[in-house]
Each structure stands twice: as C-alpha cells, then as structure tokens.
Amino acid sequence: METLIYHKKLTKREAYARAKEMLELVGFSRIEEILSDYPHRLSGGMRQRVMIAMAMSCDPKLLIADEPTTALDVTVQAQILDLMRGLSETFNSSIILITHDLGVVAELADRVVVMYAGQVVEEAEIVPLFDKPLHPYTTGLMESVPKLDVEQDRLASIAGNVPTPDNFPKGCRFVTRCPMRLSVAWRNSHN
C-alpha cells in the first residue's frame, strides 16, 4: 500500500483495494490475512510473490529482477518464474533478469547478455547461446552446470580467480583465466 500511496498518489482506501487486487493476481487466496500479517511470518515463496506484486502494482514497463529465485526450492522457483512470465504478459512489460542460474535463464529469457567482472562478453538469443556459446567464459559457465544424463564425480569449474577491480587486465577481463588465450596476446595486454 505504501508503494501505491507514494508512487501513484492513491488514497489509503484505493491503495488497499489495489493491494488486494495485486495479491490475488500473484496467487494469494487469504488476502486479508496476508495484508495484516508480518513479513517474517510468510514463507520465502510468499514473500517473493508479495515483492513481485509490489513491483508490478505501479504498472512498470520494465521490471528489474535481481536473483528472484535465490534460496527458493525448485517447485517454488518454477512457480515464481511462471508468475513473472504471466505478469509480464498481463502488464505488457519487459523483465531484465539478473542471475547466475542458467536454469532460470533458460526458463525465462529470450535474449541473454553474459557479463564477466562487469564487462559484457557475449550477447545472443537464448537458443544460439545455449547451442553454441561463442565466448570461453560462457562455455565455462555451460560446462559447470550438472547434467542429468552424464555421471560426474566433480562439476567442471573455471580455473583461476576473478581479477579485482583495481587490477583488471586490458581488453577482455577474462584473459587471465581463458583457456584459449594466446601467450603473446596475454603478455602484450599486461604490459
């Protein structure tokens, strides 16, 4: 209600009605109870749905969701992703999804921008990115995802460490960890 009063300049009565409407849209049935409850008494999935309702209540054209499914079990995660997709269509809005979870990316994204150390390293539609990643960092990310059809003792990982902001190499910031780097290019970029 506070969001609606502040941003939409609604009265308390109007904000209450809109809050009820939004909570119903995100799948709550006991709306009066939810509106009067404390956040700590709600489950993680319930809190996430309330946050989505708050974010969508002002009819944004763009929703920025930073790790929207972190710490949620797989079932609740799927419900949240379905909810976000449905609300995006209902409100005719776009979503920028910030996440490290490639499963979430595959489920919700149309277009992907892969970043490493704050630098864009690859941008592609979802299918080409997953079918044939072009940047070695993207390839490393794909290889680190567990596969159900392959028995693995250990997950693949990317060797090395992320450079600190005060020590970024020139050019591609992934060069210190890149399995495809050329030693000549690496020496020249570090001088």
CATH at residue 27 = 3.40.50.300
Residue 124 within any structural domain of the chain: no
Maximum distance among all Cα pairs of the chain, rounded to whole angstroms: 68
* Dist. CA 36–CA 186, nearest whole Å: 60
Residue 120 within any structural domain of the chain: no
Higher pLDDT, 126 or 74: 126
pTM exceeding 0.95: no
Residue 86 within any structural domain of the chain: yes
Look up the domain containing 104 and give its range: 1-109
Contacts of 23 (CB under 8 A, 6+ apart): 31, 34, 35, 49, 50, 53
Which of 96, 109, 87 minimizes the C-alpha distance to 62? 96
Which of 23, 4, 29 minimizes the C-alpha distance to 14? 4
Burial 131-167 (b: 16+ CB within 10 A, else e): eebebbbbbbbeeeeeeeeeeeeeeeebeeeebeeee
Residue 39 within any structural domain of the chain: yes
Do 16 and 89 lie in one domain? The reply is: yes
For residue 78, pLDDT over 80 is answered with yes
Do 103 and 51 lie in one domain? The reply is: yes
User: Tell me: the pLDDT tens digits for 128-165?
Assistant: 999 999 999 999 999 888 877 878 788 888 999 999 99
Do 103 and 59 lie in one domain? The reply is: yes
Tracing tokens 């596969």 back to the chain, one arrives at 147
Residue 80 within any structural domain of the chain: yes
Q: Which amino acid is at 64?
A: I
Do 49 and 97 lie in one domain? The reply is: yes
pLDDT bucket at 188, cuts 50 / 70 / 90:
low
pLDDT bucket at 18, cuts 50 / 70 / 90:
very high
pLDDT bucket at 116, cuts 50 / 70 / 90:
very high
Residue 176 within any structural domain of the chain: yes
Domain termination site, one of 59, 76, 109 = 109
Residue 116 within any structural domain of the chain: no
For residue 190, pLDDT over 70 is answered with no
Q: At what angle do helices 44-56 and 12-25 cross, to 10 degrees?
A: 120
In this predicted structure, what is the pLDDT of residue 70? 85
* Dist. CA 107–CA 81, nearest whole Å: 8
Query: How many domains are contained in the chain?
Result: 2
Element (H, E) at 95: strand 94-98
Do 9 and 103 lie in one domain? The reply is: yes
For residue 61, pLDDT over 60 is answered with yes
For residue 19, pLDDT over 70 is answered with yes
Do 51 and 96 lie in one domain? The reply is: yes
Do 34 and 84 lie in one domain? The reply is: yes
pLDDT bucket at 80, cuts 50 / 70 / 90:
confident
